[in-house]
A and B are shown apart, each in its own frame.
Chain A
């Protein structure tokens, strides 16, 4: 079961299913990420205000409010009682991610994912191997710290430095120096530690992981019997630790990837030549 690191990940799947099918979910994700960003930009660029604001809080067609629950929770921790609009927005968004998967935010919406995926791709083709690794618990530590600091200082402390909302905001409202954070996260992920930002440090990802614990749609290793141990799914997965219990658990264990850390990016479905994985609701065992 030693993985041949010279092998291109997903090669078998490309040969067996064709390039397009073997990249279906990746292409859909990029389409989703870019079109969401595009929707936010049609207003400032072309004057069609389908959606106003940015990803922390917005208004669709001047009627439906959407708000990021992570930022919303921070305002609650400062001790502030917000107006109804943002509460409604946060409830709508939370219900959405409770349905499609908590970290669908990370893999299908957040534009930083394009940067970190690119960094990981570079790592693979240049065969960069570094030994430094952060704890995957680090993000939860930062999540706790950001909430505690919000209530101590009475201000949204994490939002003073949050690279995710900062980059999203400056992409829509005009770029300041936040491009430095884009470069920084790319360097961190490519040359310092694999999947460091999204998989280990980002408290926003940690928050959406918590939503993901209870979310409906889950990746399911439904055909795990036909797994040929090529290890491509482990190699491509941003959170490889979530696969093992479902794919390699004992016969009676559930094939569902329950972990909230799974981003539902579905790259495992793409790269698997044996069609082991699929996306189902969590109650199918």
Chain B
């Protein structure tokens, strides 16, 4: 009897030891893994996600790394991150400088996704926002030297909307124009064809993840001219009518006293400076009443 209890105590002890060893080891490992996972959320700026990814962290909770989007990409644009690359392991991305997105109208990569990590509600490829093109080096871009290029403008699939050419005066020659490409975030899909086509050794226009490329105005900001347009009228109180014409009976003292009203020694108040017409005066003649109202 005694040996049986001993044995069961022993085996229970061994079991508890085993469990706590396993739990301890796993917890320790979990802490490290959790920290690593936070680090792996950062996406390198050259890695562009396929169409239908609005938000990197939503994407990382849904993508199972099956590679079906990669297989259905007809241009071999997409690839899966391999161990050793700095994109979250196994997830699809592309490098616009080597192979950009060709913006297929039927969006086969989104259709192939079994989980919805690539949003199936994206049906018009022009609505995709894979990233945002930025003319990042104005020193190297030859358009800024006054040379004609406009290759990025010409290859852009959303032509004239995502990139337009803004003509500026060439101050070097004084008589020519600069044909400056300007990207508009309202229409740029981030396909990267501009970066791919840029004629420089290292592209002057690059597609960056939208989060990196876009600034954001403070939410309290209102642009006066836009608000005015929206409201159809000015939103600030109109200026007071100009009242500095000398009113009746008021003189101007050039010696430093300014406006004075003969007959009044109270030269500091509005009335004496001529800001208030004598007939508009809010002041009562009674000194006691003025005191009660706080007007000294």
Mark A residues whose CB is within 8 Å of B: 43, 49, 52-54, 56-59, 65, 67-68, 71-72, 75, 78-80, 82-83, 85-86, 89, 134-138, 140-142, 144-145, 148-149, 152-161, 165-166, 169-170, 172-178, 180-181
**Contact pick for A137, options B18, B36, B65, CB 8 Å:** B18
Q: How far is the CA of A176 from the CA of B21 in the complex (A)?
A: 34
Q: Enumerate chain B residues within 8 angstroms of A49, measured Cβ to Cβ.
A: 71
CB 8 Å contact bits of B39-77 with A (1 = contact, 0 = none): 011000000000000000110111111111011100000
The stretch of B84-92, B130-138, B222-230 that contacts the partner chain: B84-92
Q: Enumerate chain B residues within 8 angstroms of A152, measured Cβ to Cβ.
A: 34
A157 touches B66 (CB 8 A): no
The stretch of B112-120, B174-182, B244-252, B268-276 that contacts the partner chain: B112-120
The distance from the CB of A122 to the nearest CB of chain B, in whole angstroms, is 25
- Is B82 an interface position by the 8 A CB rule? yes
Q: Enumerate chain A residues within 8 angstroms of B22, measured Cβ to Cβ.
A: 135, 137-138, 140-141
B37 touches A166 (CB 8 A): no
The 3 closest A-B pairs by CB, nearest first: A176-B82, A141-B26, A57-B66
The distance from the CB of A261 to the nearest CB of chain B, in whole angstroms, is 14
Quick one: which of B26, B41, B82 has the most chain A CB within 10 A? B26
Q: How far is the CA of A155 from the CA of B34 in the complex (A)?
A: 10
Q: Enumerate chain A residues within 8 angstroms of B89, measured Cβ to Cβ.
A: 159-161, 166
Q: How far is the CA of A57 from the CA of B113 in the complex (A)?
A: 10
Q: Enumerate chain B residues within 8 angstroms of A161, measured Cβ to Cβ.
A: 33, 36, 89
B60 touches A155 (CB 8 A): yes
Q: How far is the CA of A137 from the CA of B15 in the complex (A)?
A: 10
**Contact pick for B26, options A71, A78, A142, A170, CB 8 Å:** A142
Q: Enumerate chain A residues within 8 angstroms of B27, measured Cβ to Cβ.
A: 141, 145
B26 touches A157 (CB 8 A): no
Q: Enumerate chain B residues within 8 angstroms of A57, measured Cβ to Cβ.
A: 64, 66, 68, 114-115
Given A57-B68, A137-B22, A178-B83, verify A160-B88 contact (CB < 8 Å): yes
